[in-house]
Amino acid sequence: MTDGLGGGGFGQRRPSGETLAGAADPVLRRTLAAAGLSATGRFVSKAGWVSRVWVGDEYVVRLNTNGQFRDAYRHEAAVVRLLAGSEVPHARHLAHGDGPDGPWYISERLPGRTLYDAWPAADSRTRRAMVESLGAALRALHRVPVPADLLPPWLAEALADSLTGKPWPAFHPPVVSATLQQVEAARRLPSHDSRLLANVADWIQERLELFAADEPVLVHGDLHGSNVIVDQGRVTGLIDFAEALAQPADVELDTILRWCAKAREYPPTPDLQGLDEATLTQVPGWLHGAYPELFEREQLRERLNFYDMYVELALYAHHPQPDVREAAQYRIARLLSGHNHLDGLVW
């Protein structure tokens, strides 16, 4: 879920998808009243993938309007409670609930703006400082005690319904134990490639041992430029924990490295463009330097390929658009031969 929650400085020109809302917006007023918060002050209304967002001087208001991601805000509030007292930079949770306009979540306003917004104008030194600060934030996140079975309710529901043909709200983050389950879901497709899926099942079985000794940690699950807030060259907060779950720490790299390799596919809103991948080539190396333990797992590339296989299988089995499923099938075949978007990355 990419909500675009950070918001730039109010003195800057507002990008596409942002308007000054003020407290006159009746939906915003109702939501603030439900939280017992004042409706005074200036708010910037921002477009999002699944939410309406208002960024105020003191707090950020999100409203889920599309009915997907069941209990996502309740889950996020529970995850943020786990962060209390930790060194993880994050936005303090103020209130959440359900109202006539949909589920809502209110957090404090963090200083700065998203990494996506800050990146283009930043020089190399500032970019490196931001990535190194991100490494420190991730190390702190992965040290937070977490229930071993932590899973977003909407994802648990999707996994439980994976063989029923119900549409999925999202196709990440990877869940190692459910990877073979995605093969079975794909086999229910009328036009599935049975030989390909037989090879995939064998490929997965051969690699499950890689994860046998893993201890789950708290993983953000959707970490890319729009879900990191930065200010003056440092991370002031990780945001949007609706996909946070307990998995091996290097699951975090699945989205981060996918973002570095395919940044154009990660715009903060549908009407904007993602960053140029050429500007992110040094990010994996900088992150490795700041958080080397994240990259030191034995057979890391095979583990990352496994996570990628989960995502591609989920797309192949559950995406409603035939062309997207076809593209996922092609990428699955490339993965079996040892190739994917990681080929050009250096860390």
User: C-alpha dihedral over 159, 192, 184, 203, to 10 degrees?
Assistant: -110
Q: Is the distance from CB of 342 to CB of 305 less than 8 angstroms? A: yes
Q: 13: which residues sit within 8 A by CB, 6+ positions away?
A: none
> Do 18-108 and 113-149+213-344 have matching folds?
no
Q: Is the distance from CB of 170 to CB of 311 less than 8 angstroms? A: no
Q: Is the distance from CB of 113 to CB of 8 less than 8 angstroms? A: yes
Encoded tokens for 55: 């960024």
Q: Is the distance from CB of 35 to CB of 106 less than 8 angstroms? A: yes
Encoded tokens for 306: 């496994």
Indicate the pTM of the whole model: 0.92
**Best CA proximity match to 130, nearest among 243, 280, 22:** 280
Domain 18-108 carries which CATH code?
A: 3.30.200.20
Comparing 52-61, 112-121, 206-215, 333-342, the range with the smallest average pLDDT is 52-61
Pick the more confident residue, 1 or 130: 130
* Spatial separation of the C-alpha atoms in residues 297 and 214, rounded to whole Å: 10
Integer CA distances (angstroms), 153 to 156, 174, 180, 212, 221, in order: 5, 15, 20, 25, 14
**Each residue's pLDDT tens digit, 314-332:** 999 999 999 999 999 999 9
Integer CA distances (angstroms), 217 to 67, 90, 208, 274, in order: 29, 17, 18, 29
**Each residue's pLDDT tens digit, 225-237:** 999 999 999 999 9
- The mean predicted confidence, pLDDT, of the chain is 91
* Whole-number pLDDT of residue 299: 97
pLDDT exceeds cutoff 50 at 2: no
pLDDT exceeds cutoff 70 at 21: no
**Each residue's pLDDT tens digit, 148-163:** 999 999 999 999 988 8
Q: Where are the domains of the chain?
A: 18-108, 113-149+213-344
pLDDT exceeds cutoff 70 at 1: no
Comparing 31-45, 46-60, 296-310, the range with the smallest average pLDDT is 46-60
* Whole-number pLDDT of residue 69: 85
* Whole-number pLDDT of residue 7: 33
pLDDT exceeds cutoff 80 at 15: no
* Whole-number pLDDT of residue 63: 94
Confidence of residue 10 (pLDDT cuts 50, 70, 90): very low
* Spatial separation of the C-alpha atoms in residues 165 and 320, rounded to whole Å: 10
Confidence of residue 6 (pLDDT cuts 50, 70, 90): very low
Domain 113-149+213-344 carries which CATH code?
A: 3.90.1200.10
* Spatial separation of the C-alpha atoms in residues 278 and 262, rounded to whole Å: 10
* Spatial separation of the C-alpha atoms in residues 156 and 169, rounded to whole Å: 11
Integer CA distances (angstroms), 31 to 72, 81, 133, 322, in order: 17, 21, 34, 39
If residue 60 lies in a helix (H) or strand (E), which one and from where to where? strand 59-64
